[in-house]
Amino acid sequence: MATIPLTSKTENKSEINIDIHQQHVVKTKYKKLYFAISVALILAYIALLIYDFEWSSVLMFIVLSINNYQLLMYIFGKDPFNLHGKSYLKFNNQGFIYKPLRKAPREILWQDVSGITLHLFEAEFHLTNGGTSAINLEDLSDDNLKLVKEWLVWKKLEIGN
């Protein structure tokens, strides 16, 4: 059986877990700026409430505080209100689970796969029962796409097609 050299990211790993909508991380130099802006806006809202109290100001304070909370959670890589939905791709030695946005997750075991066809942004799995299953890789970041394609090439060589 042929093997391919894997990069250090996939070496000694038995699984890959990718949350598709939370894979783009804000760079550190921008985190401080966004954090400072968020804190300054919250302090400005509080000052507005103290000096010019009206119920419309309270409502605006609540709305903008929720907006700032969401911005802060985005800075730290969280999805605070599950606004993006859950969409993930998990590979392990037994198989993989792919959950597209707003659809049920699909689990496929490697023993049920008879062949793999790789396209530019799609991987098509030929199953032993004659069916096919495809996963869309278009939403992955470049690093995660490279990682998944290396994993799939490795599995393709293991399967032997």
Q: Which residue has the tokens 């419309």?
A: 56
Q: Which residue has the tokens 């097609």?
A: 161
Q: Read off the tokens for 14.
A: 């038995």
| CATH domain 15-23+86-159 topology | PH-domain like (2.30.29)
Confidence of residue 14 (pLDDT cuts 50, 70, 90): low
Looking at residue 28, its pLDDT comes to 64
Kindly provide the residue ranges of all beta strands, DSSP E only, lying in 59-154, ordered along the sequence.
Answer: 88-92, 95-99, 106-109, 113-118, 122-127, 132-136
Q: pTM score, two decimals?
A: 0.53
Residue 6: count other Cβ atoms within 10 Å of its Cβ: 15
Query: Radius of gyration over alpha carbons of the chain, in Å?
Result: 22
Tokens of 153: 């090439």
Q: How far is it, in rounded angstroms, from Cα 118 to Cα 76?
A: 34
For the chain, what's the residue count?
Answer: 161
Alpha-carbon distance values, 133 to 3, 107, 127, 129 (Å): 25, 10, 7, 11
Q: Summarize pLDDT for 53-93 with one digit per residue, the tens.
A: 777 777 877 888 888 787 777 777 666 666 556 777 888 88
**How is the chain split into domains, by residue range?**
15-23+86-159, 28-75
pLDDT band at 110; cut points 50, 70, 90:
confident
CA separation for the pair 149, 122 (Å, rounded): 10
